[in-house]
Amino acid sequence: MRKIKYSQAINEAFHQVMNREKNVIVMGIGVNSPWYVGHTMEGLFKKFGCNRVIDTPVSENGFTGIAVGAAMSGLRPVVIHPRMDFMYYSFDQIINQAANWHYMFGGSVNVPLTLRGIVNRGGEQAAQHSQSIQALFMHIPGLKVVMPATPSDAKGLLISSVLDNNPVIYIDDRWLYDIEDDVPDGFYQVPIGEAKVLKQGKDVTIIASSYLVYEGLKAAEKLGALDNIDAELLDLRTIKPLDTSRIFDSVKKTGRVVIADGGWQTAGASAEVSALISSEIFSSLKAPVRRVCLPDAPAPASKTLEQVYYPHSEDIYLSVKQVMGYKEKA
Q: How far apart are CA 208 and CA 212, in angstroms?
A: 6
Q: State which amino acid sits at residue 233.
A: L
Among 20, 43, 47, 96, which residue sits at the site for another protein (rule: CB under 8 A)? Answer: 96
Footprint of another protein on 189-248 (CB under 8 A)? none
The answer to whether 57 and 31 have CB atoms below 8 angstroms apart is: no
Per-residue binding letters, 70-89, with another protein (x by CB under 8 A): xxxxxx-x------------
Question: Helix crossing, 313-324 with 212-227: angle to 10°?
Answer: 50
Nearest to 269 by CA among 217, 212, 321, 316: 212
Edge-to-edge order in the sheet of strand 238-240: 53-55, 24-28, 76-81, 114-119, 168-173, 144-146, 238-240
| Residue 115 found at the interface with another protein (CB under 8 A) | no
| Residue 57 found at the interface with another protein (CB under 8 A) | yes
Question: Helix crossing, 269-280 with 244-254: angle to 10°?
Answer: 60
Footprint of another protein on 271-330 (CB under 8 A)? none
> Residue 231 CA to chain centroid, in angstroms?
22
Half-sphere exposure for 292 (CA within 13 Å, toward CB)? 29
According to DSSP, the residues that pair with 199 across neighbouring strands are 233
Determine the interface stretch with another protein among 4-12, 69-77, 221-229, 254-262 (rule: CB under 8 A): 69-77
Footprint of another protein on 123-162 (CB under 8 A)? 141-142, 144
| Residue 110 found at the interface with another protein (CB under 8 A) | yes
Pairing of β 24-28 and β 53-55? parallel
Report, as residue numbers or ranges, the catalytic residues. 60, 129
| Residue 25 found at the interface with another protein (CB under 8 A) | yes
| Residue 19 found at the interface with another protein (CB under 8 A) | no
Among 36, 38, 52, 130, which residue sits at the site for another protein (rule: CB under 8 A)? Answer: 52
Which of residues 71 and 269 has its CB atom nearest to another protein in the complex?
71
Determine the interface stretch with another protein among 51-59, 180-188, 296-304, 308-316 (rule: CB under 8 A): 51-59
| Residue 121 found at the interface with another protein (CB under 8 A) | no
Which of residues 70 and 259 has its CB atom nearest to another protein in the complex?
70
Q: Please report, as ranges, the residues that interact with another protein according to CB under 8 A.
A: 23, 25, 51-52, 56-57, 59, 61-75, 77, 92-93, 96-97, 101-110, 112, 141-142, 144, 165-166
